[in-house]
DNA sequence: AACTCGTGGCA
DNA sequence: TTGCCAAGAGT
């Protein structure tokens, strides 16, 4: 056995892949708010917000979340409507409700703290295998892998994994590499190094291999296969759907409806409407929907415009209408729907799906300008999340 | 084991 | 414009 003292230079130079990554991270890491002090609560919230969401998209949400909910107790005590309103526009709204469920468990059963235990974390709502590992490593620097899509892509190229991403074989290979490369005691930086490298250098499209600190060990690059790794699973066909919704105005208030507590956009509010029955015009279709679901016969409709918006599985054209009805009288409402008349000035308070928020913006704009086009206008996307103010619109 | 669950950035 | 993609979890 050769004494370390005889080989001082090898001690100073990174000589493993993990050390190359750690050195790269030390020089190139992104400055992100939850990386200041690594407060477990902040790391947890950041990880939930980042699920299927890019840093650039969530950053503004994260900042205002920490102003409104600076700690676990504040989120545990908050009304669910407040939580959803702060999440409006981020998507996957079960994440927000699961944060609150988990916060309440932390307060009641876990001493009001983020648990420092993988299995306990894993048992909390919204925390799966990845997120539990991410919190253990990033918040507590404990030795757990956190192999997200970035790490998966890096490992798939590094080891030239030919299995399709999402397959069990792929996940097993990634998991094995993650455990194998994890430098004990440095898991916080290592896991984040993989994420930053994946989002800054080892990009899904056109990776910047010349900037990569481990390109010399990348099997896919050596074979010229970086564009083929990871192998993507088959994609599904996108379906076109026509929907319609109505801004019903009566005595300065607008009728909104709360969505059910399960399924798509649970517990968000919406402008009543829905899928346009096939073969009908949007205008006629939404009249049918209102009559069937609300027992309201709509008066003359004015177009507010058309919204094009897409989900993973389908592309939607949402037709928005305005109805100034002096006296609509709801008959029997089906399915015990939760309906509410909200003052126009309070429309910013409930949480709406993005597309419906765009309709409300167009409606308020119409009130300001009173302009009307001949044909439906395209309603644009908002650039930033709508600022939040006081909640509680229920008694307005 | 496949689906479902959203949205905005980006080329 | 269209399609792809993103720090996944729950069922």
Domain of residue A119, CATH code = 1.10.340.30
**Residues A115 and A163 reside in one and the same domain:** yes
Q: Would you say residue A4 lies in a domain?
A: no
Q: Is the pLDDT of residue A238 over 90?
A: no
Q: Is A331:A240 a contact under the CB 8 Å cutoff?
A: no
Q: Kindly state whether residues A260 and A361 are assigned to the same domain.
A: yes
Q: Across residues A229-257, what is the average pLDDT?
A: 91
The domain that holds A340 is classified in CATH as: 3.90.79.10
A2 — pLDDT class (breaks 50, 70, 90)? very low
β-pairing, A239-250 vs A314-324, is parallel
Question: Does any domain span residue A388?
Answer: no
Same domain as A349, residue A202? no
Interatomic separation, CA of residue A375 and C1' of nucleotide C11, rounded (Å): 43
CB-to-strand B contacts below 7 angstroms: A 52-54, 56-57, 89-94, 168, 205, 263-266, 309-313, 353-355, 381-383
- Which positions of strand B lie within 7 Å of protein CB atoms? 1, 4-11
In a domain, A261, yes or no: yes
**In degrees, to the nearest 5, what angle opens at C-alpha A189 toward C-alphas A228 and A131?**
70
pLDDT over 60 (residue A395): no
Active-site position among A11, A13, A19, A47 = A47
Q: Is residue A7 part of a domain?
A: no
Which of A201, A228, A255 is at the close of a domain? Answer: A228
**Do A221 and A306 reside in the same domain of the chain?**
no
Distance A125 CA to C11 C1' (A): 13
Q: Are residues A211 and A345 in the same domain?
A: no
User: Are residues A253 and A342 in contact, defined by beta-carbon separation less than 8 angstroms?
Assistant: yes
CB atoms within 10 A of CB A197: 25
Q: Tell me which long-range contacts A210-214 makes (C-beta under 8 A, separation of at least 24).
A: A213/A20, A213/A21, A213/A23, A213/A24, A214/A17, A214/A20, A214/A21, A214/A158
Residue A346 known to be catalytic? no
In a domain, A148, yes or no: yes
Q: Which nucleotide's C1' sits nearest to the alpha carbon of A314?
A: B6
Residue nearest to nucleotide B6 (CA to C1'): A91
Whether A378 is in a domain gets the answer no
| One domain, residues A222 and A246 | no
A40-66 tens-digit pLDDT: 999 999 999 999 999 999 999 999 999
CB neighbourhood size of A365 (10 A):
14
**End-to-end C-alpha distance for chain A, whole angstroms:** 80
In this model, does residue A234 exceed pLDDT 80? no
Verify if strand C has an atom below 7 Å from the CB of A98: yes
Per-residue confidence (pLDDT) for residue A369, from 0 to 100: 83
A249 and A208, same structural domain? no
Question: Is A58 within the bounds of a domain?
Answer: yes
Domain final residue pick, A182, A204, A228: A228
Averaged pLDDT, A239-261: 94
Q: Could you say which of A206, A228, A250 is where a domain stops?
A: A228
A347 and A266 housed in the same domain: yes
Q: Is A162 exposed, middle or buried (0-12, 13-18, 19+ CB in 10 A)?
A: middle
Report if CB A164 to strand C is under 7 Å. Answer: no
Report the distance separating Cα A185 and Cα A43, nearest Å. Answer: 18
Nucleotide with C1' nearest the A353 CA: B6
If asked whether residues A224 and A292 sit together in one domain, one would say no
CA–CA gap between residue A391 and residue A396 (Å, rounded): 11
Q: Of residues A391 and A342, which shows the higher confidence score?
A: A342
> What value does the mean pLDDT of chain A take?
91
d(CA A126, CA A148): 15
pLDDT of residue A4: 30
Above 70 in pLDDT, residue A246? Answer: yes
> In the complex, which nucleotide's C1' lies nearest to the CA atom of residue A124?
C9
| Count of domains for chain A | 2
- Closest residue to C5 (CA to C1') is A204
Question: Whole domain around residue A190: which residue ranges?
Answer: 15-228
- Nucleotide lying nearest to A309, CA to C1' measure: B7
Protein contacts on strand C: list nucleotides below 7 Å from a Cβ: 1, 3-10
Can you tell me the mean pLDDT for A203-221? Answer: 96
Q: Residue A29, CB, less than 7 Å from strand C? A: no
Same domain, yes or no, for A152 and A183? Answer: yes
**What is the CA A220 to C1' B5 distance in angstroms?**
33
Same-domain status, A221 and A284: no
Summarize the confidence of residues A296-302 as an average pLDDT.
92
pLDDT tens figures, A321-375? 999 976 666 655 655 679 999 999 999 999 999 999 999 999 999 998 876 666 6
What are the structure tokens assigned to A108, written together? 């009641």
Q: Using DSSP, state whether A295 is helix, strand or coil.
A: coil
Q: Name the residue among A192, A198, A182, A196 with its Cα closest to residue A144.
A: A182
Whole-angstrom Cα distance, residue A215 to residue A196?
15
Question: Which nucleotide lies nearest residue A146, CA to C1'?
Answer: C7
Local structure of A35: helix, strand or coil: helix
Domain-located, residue A325: yes
Report the pLDDT value the prediction gives residue A329, as an integer from 0 to 100: 65
DSSP code per residue over A46-92 = HHHHTTT--HHHHHHHHHHHHHH--SHHHHHHS-HHHHHHHHTTT--
Does residue A261 share a domain with residue A159?
no
């Amino acid at each position: 056995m050769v004494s370390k003292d005889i080989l001082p230079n090898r001690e100073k130079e990174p000589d493993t892949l993990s050390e190359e990554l750690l050195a790269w991270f030390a020089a190139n890491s992104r400055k992100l708010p939850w990386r200041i002090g690594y407060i477990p609560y902040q790391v947890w919230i950041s990880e939930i917000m980042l699920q299927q969401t890019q840093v650039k998209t969530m950053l503004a949400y994260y900042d205002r979340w920490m102003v409104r909910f600076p700690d676990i107790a504040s989120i545990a005590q908050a009304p669910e409507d407040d939580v959803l309103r702060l999440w409006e526009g981020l998507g996957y709204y079960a994440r927000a409700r699961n944060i609150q469920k988990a916060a309440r468990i932390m307060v009641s059963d876990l001493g009001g703290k983020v648990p420092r235990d993988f299995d306990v974390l894993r048992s909390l709502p919204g925390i799966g295998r990845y997120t539990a590992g991410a919190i253990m490593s990033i918040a507590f620097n404990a030795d757990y892998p956190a192999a997200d899509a970035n790490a998966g892509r890096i490992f798939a190229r590094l080891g030239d994994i030919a299995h399709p991403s999402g397959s069990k074989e792929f996940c097993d290979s990634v998991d094995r590499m993650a455990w194998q490369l994890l430098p004990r005691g440095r898991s916080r930086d290592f896991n984040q190094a993989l994420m930053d490298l994946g989002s800054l250098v080892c990009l899904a499209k056109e990776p910047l291999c010349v900037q990569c600190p481990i390109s010399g060990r990348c099997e896919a690059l050596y074979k010229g296969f970086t564009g083929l790794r990871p192998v993507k699973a088959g994609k599904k066909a996108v379906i076109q759907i026509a929907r319609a919704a109505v801004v019903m105005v009566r005595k300065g208030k607008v009728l909104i409806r709360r969505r059910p507590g399960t399924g798509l956009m649970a517990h968000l509010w919406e402008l009543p409407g829905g899928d346009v029955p096939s073969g009908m015009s949007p205008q006629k279709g939404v009249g049918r929907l209102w009559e069937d679901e609300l027992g309201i016969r709509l008066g003359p409709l004015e177009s507010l415009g058309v919204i094009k918006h897409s989900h993973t599985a389908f592309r939607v054209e949402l037709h928005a209408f305005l109805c100034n009805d002096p006296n609509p009288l709801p008959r029997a409402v089906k399915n015990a729907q939760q309906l509410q008349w909200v003052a126009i000035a309070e429309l910013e308070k409930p949480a709406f799906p993005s597309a419906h928020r765009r309709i409300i913006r167009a409606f308020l704009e119409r009130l300001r300008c009173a302009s009307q086009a001949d044909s439906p206008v395209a309603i644009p996307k908002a650039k930033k999340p709508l600022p939040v103010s006081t909640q509680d619109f229920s008694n307005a």
